[in-house]
Amino acid sequence: MRGALDKVSGVSQVDITAGQQDMTVHYDSSKTNVDAILAAMKAAGEGAQVKK
């Protein structure tokens, strides 16, 4: 997962919670958005959803 998001311009940090399938993505909203992050995850064959 982290590798796919490292390729998204504007993503600065990815924190993955071991064993809970949760992650927090820190990004610059002037360079990317949630849809681009989700698309990168999908392209890498990973499912993802936004948790609010």
pTM of structure:
0.84
Q: Which residue do the tokens 């909203």 mark? A: 29
Residue 38 sits at φ, ψ, to 5 deg, of -65, -40
**Please, what are the domains in the chain?**
2-43 (3.30.70.100)
Q: DSSP states of 1-52 as a string?
A: -HHHHHTSTTEEEEEEETTTTEEEEEE-TTT--HHHHHHHHHHTT-------
pLDDT digits (tens, 9 = 90+) for 1-51: 778 898 999 999 999 888 778 899 999 999 999 999 999 999 999 888 898
